[in-house]
Structure 1
């Protein structure tokens, strides 16, 4: 069933007017008509099933019928990633949403050589990925900050898994073995890697854990996907999944 993210509050029998873009998507692209059902969520009120009540030139109105799933959030995990080329950062945003990151924080490092971030475009990519994957919220895409500024205002309880391409750190799963649960962040550097000064700063942080993603140098999008996958397996919401 089609899922849509909407900003409005969601309650029983509410008449939800979709914006023009969503209305056109439902009627012109997906060919939905009066009586067809759609799932909607807003990141606060759970996932609701609604039926198309009005489908006209002025837009679509859904009548909310029932709460399908109560609101739930995944692990409190941030992905902190250096700006890279547009196509790669868009892939990173999409996969971060699919893999359960709650926020994506963009950073500028000494060796950053990426395109200017279009936050509206990146947020739209995150929204579409959240709709398709069945998650109950949409990751927030945070405006780029210089790495030093980000670390200066760091939320102290949040642990930082620092993916270090230097090669002398423990593998990710070994680095996370026995780690305390709680809020975490994963840091992925630019294509040229962190500078020696940045690496020294990161390794001296009490809340940072260096980790290796293996013997090969990975592109930023591959590194982000790999690190998110390993973290979810070790610390996240994959741990309770049963294998049939």
Structure 2
């Protein structure tokens, strides 16, 4: 079943003219024709059944039929990731969306080996991943800021899982034992500087944890940490057995 994220309000009988990219995808790639059924969601009104009403030269028009699933959101989990090269960063954003992160916050650290990124492309990747995985929301991807600025504005009610490769921290599954708002912090390929590590370990809301005896690439570390967090306190534990989002 094709799923599309749209910005429009969703209600029975509403007609939606898709943007150029989505229209091209349906008409040229999926060869959609009038009467074909698909699903749409906007992150607010749940998931709706829709049918293709018109396939035009400039736009595909959908007609909404009825709701398929009520709106729901996943765990309140941020991924704070140091900027890395384009390929690994795009993989991280895609997998963060698949693994249920609510936000992705790129940060600039002292050893960051990339100084810019195309946030618009990262947001498009997050949207596509949400469409493919059955999510009813799209994770927010924020503009990159310096790590110090993020920490200065931090809400102490959100626990910070600081993945520290120093080797003297406890494993994630031993440190993450309760739910609530969390964030996972992954450093750059060169690791955190001694000054940054000292700063992070002094934070009352930060919990250092290790991802094992090997030094992991940033993309591997992000995927591993998200998976372990989900297994410990995330919605993997609460999803009804045998129930499918499709």
Task: Report the alpha carbon displacement of residue 58 of structure 1 after superposing the two structures with TM.
Answer: 2.5
| Runs of 4+ more than 3 Å apart | 241-244
Residues 1:30 and 1:102: Cα distance change in structure 2 (over 3 Å): same
Counterpart pick for 1:227 among 219, 225, 228 = 225
Task: Report the alpha carbon displacement of residue 242 of structure 1 after superposing the two structures with TM.
Answer: 6.2
Find the aligned partners of 2:190 and 2:241 in 1 and give their Cα distance.
39
Find the aligned partners of 1:228 and 1:214 in 2 and give their Cα distance.
14
Report the counterpart of residue 47 of structure 1 in structure 2: 47
Find the aligned partners of 1:241 and 1:6 in 2 and give their Cα distance.
26
Report the counterpart of residue 186 of structure 2 in structure 1: 188
Report the counterpart of residue 199 of structure 1 in structure 2: 197
Report the counterpart of residue 142 of structure 1 in structure 2: 142
| Cα contact 1:172–1:212 (8 A) shared by 2 | yes
| Cα contact 1:47–1:67 (8 A) shared by 2 | yes
Counterpart pick for 1:210 among 203, 208, 211 = 208
Find the aligned partners of 1:148 and 1:115 in 2 and give their Cα distance.
16
Task: Report the alpha carbon displacement of residue 240 of structure 1 after superposing the two structures with TM.
Answer: 2.3
RMSD: 1.1
Paired residues, what number? Answer: 242
TM-score, normalised on structure 1? 0.97
Deviations 1:203-240 (A, max 9, x none): 11000000000000000000000000000011110112
Q: Within 5 Å, which residues of 2 pair with 1:169-180?
A: 169-177=169-177, 179=178
Residues 1:165 and 1:119: Cα distance change in structure 2 (over 3 Å): same
Q: Within 5 Å, which residues of 2 pair with 1:97-176?
A: 97-114=97-114, 116-176=116-176
Find the aligned partners of 2:6 and 2:238 in 1 and give their Cα distance.
30
| Cα contact 1:85–1:115 (8 A) shared by 2 | no
| SS of corresponding position for 1:143 | coil
Deviations 1:117-143 (A, max 9, x none): 101010000000000000000011111
Report the counterpart of residue 19 of structure 2 in structure 1: 19
Deviations 1:48-104 (A, max 9, x none): 010011111131111100100000000000000000010000000000000000000
| Cα contact 2:108–2:115 (8 A) shared by 1 | no
| SS of corresponding position for 1:237 | coil
